[in-house]
Structures are given as structure tokens and as C-alpha cells.
Amino acid sequence: MKVALLLIFFLLKLPNQVAVNGNGIEPWLNAPAPAPTPTPWPEQFHALLYMNSTSTHLQITNLWYDWPKGRNVNILQKQLGMMLYDIEWNNGTSFYYTFGEGAQCQTMDFGVGIPRPDFLDGAHYLGQVVTDGFLCNLWEKVDFIWYYEDVVTKRPVRWDFYDGISTHVMTFEIGAVLPDSIVQAPAYCFTEVVNGNDLSET
């Protein structure tokens, strides 16, 4: 996750490449001309995400993206594992923490903010394909992300990172906002030294 989180920030900075990586996706359907562009993310939304990594570890993530408040919140439930809070702020600081027995917190500074709503601008259009049962437009950006958007509703359906983490969008509530009280990092984020367990790698 850490690598994915870190590298998504590079989308903000890198120029688009024209390199095409088929990513094993078949079959291709008609590609409309001119090529469509990805719909920008709504400034505020909540999405329930089903994620599968190459190691076949599964997790459910509640994503609360909030551009006006400058935060990107991921609350991750790992299968039969921990629930991890990942609060990313636009000033570059991210807090990772757990609650309950053995609660831990790790603070990281990525030096860049959260993805902009238009972070997919400049993505390379690959065509139309059916995924998860939805007819989608598919784009690729900097060989890092493959992004599937429903042709009709323009909602994201799925995105894959280069490292094999596949994310499937189960709900997409435009305008939903997480209460501020939930994103307040716990006191032990500010008082304790991390005990060596890298939460973001688990």
C-alpha cells in the first residue's frame, strides 16, 4: 500500500507517457473517436472499495475523498486482520493508526499533497472494455494506473495499480463527507515514538 500511495503522488508531477501496456485486457470493443477523457473526481465523495493485491490478500476500504478539506481518508479492513486508518492531508502529512489493544500510530511526510480531482488528466486512452460486468472506458497513466470508468454513468468502476493491487468500486456517493471528529488522529500519534512496526507495509 505504501508504494501505491507514494507513487500516486507522482501522477501529479510526471508528464504523460505514450507507452501502451495492454495489461492483458481482452477483448477490446469499439473505441470512440475522438478519445474521451476521464471524468474528474468529485470534490467530495465516499466510496466503498473492494481491493485485491497480487498476494491475493483482500481488504475492504472506505475511501472518503475531500478536496476542499484537503484530506484523503482510507479506512482499511484487512481480511480477518486489522482495521487501519490512513489519513492523508494536503500538506503532505499522513497518519496511519489502529485502535484497541496494541494500538499504534505512524506519521509519514510524503512531501506532496493528495491527488487533485483532475489527477487523471493526460491519461492515455486505451478503448472500451467490459470489466466487472460494466462497459467501461479505460485509460492508463504513466504505466502506474489503469482506470476504468462506466461509459454511461461516468462513475469509476475499477482501477489497477502497476504493482497488482486491483480496486473495485462497490459504492460511489458523490458529496458524502466524513465528520471531522473521525479524522482526528489519536493522541498517541503525537506522544509516542513508533515501535518499529511499519503499519503502512502490513
Ligand X SMILES: *[C@@H]1O[C@H](CO)[C@@H](O)[C@H](O)[C@H]1NC(C)=O
- Residues 6 or more apart whose CB falls under 8 angstroms from that of 140 comprise 20, 21, 23, 123, 124, 126, 146, 147
Q: What whole-number distance in Å separates Cα of residue 88 and Cα of residue 76?
A: 13
User: Among 15-23, 34-42, 85-93, 114-122, which window interacts with ligand X (CB under 6 A)?
Assistant: 85-93
Nearer to ligand X, 47 or 108 (CB): 108
131 touching ligand X, by CB under 6 A: no
Least distance in angstroms from the C-beta of 115 to ligand X: 16
Nearer to ligand X, 166 or 202 (CB): 166
Site for ligand X in 86-105 (CB under 6 A): 89, 91, 93
Least distance in angstroms from the C-beta of 26 to ligand X: 15
3 phi and psi, to 5 degrees?
-60, -45
- Residue (of 88, 121, 119, 122) closest to 5 by Cα position: 88
Instruction: Using CB under 6 A, count the residues that bind ligand X.
Output: 6
Least distance in angstroms from the C-beta of 33 to ligand X: 32
Nearer to ligand X, 53 or 202 (CB): 53
C-alpha cell at 160: 489497477
30 touching ligand X, by CB under 6 A: no
Nearer to ligand X, 38 or 74 (CB): 74
Nearer to ligand X, 16 or 52 (CB): 52
Least distance in angstroms from the C-beta of 56 to ligand X: 5
Q: Do residues 194 and 105 lie in contact, with contact meaning Cβ atoms separated by under 8 Å?
A: yes
Task: Give the CA dihedral 145, 85, 186, 105, nearest 10 degrees.
Answer: -80
- Residue (of 91, 59, 90, 89) closest to 75 by Cα position: 59
Nearer to ligand X, 50 or 99 (CB): 50
Site for ligand X in 40-69 (CB under 6 A): 52, 56, 58
- Residue (of 150, 177, 196, 140) closest to 16 by Cα position: 140
Residues that bind ligand X (CB under 6 A): 52, 56, 58, 89, 91, 93
